[in-house]
Amino acid sequence: MAETFKLRINGRDHEVKAEPNTPLLYILRNDLKLKGTRFGCGEAQCGACNVLLDGNAVPSCDTPLWSVPGHEITTIEAIASSDTGDLHPVQQAFIDEQAIQCGYCIDGIIISAVALLKRERDPTDAQIAAALDRNLCRCGTHVRIFRAIRAAARVMQRQTKP
């Protein structure tokens, strides 16, 4: 039976009516038309559907709607600065390092990288690998992706220095 859920997504309040076990991904894409979050495997194995839930990267295909009210959800659409329109340092680094091939997985990978850099100012390669462990990229740009995340970390460190 459908219920009404109040959600906080990308800094805005939304009200949706759906079955409680509906995957968050379906609400984002179908109801709210936020198409940056992609359907990949539907089994929380590829990372294409990752969003930030209270700052942590989670697969939205495996996150039931009933579990998200009261939490802040951030999709790839809200990673760039809404004030200036500037790209997030991770997004800019991915462009600068040419870390994007087909682009299907990249939004989920960027979400995972943003979550990592919120926790770790200067992540090691092992920490980057662990953060991206649930992200599948078949294009083989892993070396560039690592380089982009390290570059974004440096930019973010400079931005937060007094």
Taking all residues of the chain, what is their mean pLDDT, rounded to a whole number?
A: 95
114, exposed or middle or buried, with CB in 10 Å at 0-12, 13-18, 19+?
Answer: buried
Q: Which domains does the chain have, with CATH numbers?
A: 3-78 (3.10.20.30), 89-160 (1.10.150.120)
Instruction: Say what percent of the chain tops pLDDT 70.
Output: 99
Strand 3-9 to 56-59 pairing:
unpaired
The answer, as to whether pTM is greater than 0.85, is yes
Distance of alpha carbon 54 from alpha carbon 150, whole angstroms: 23
pLDDT at 161 over 80: no
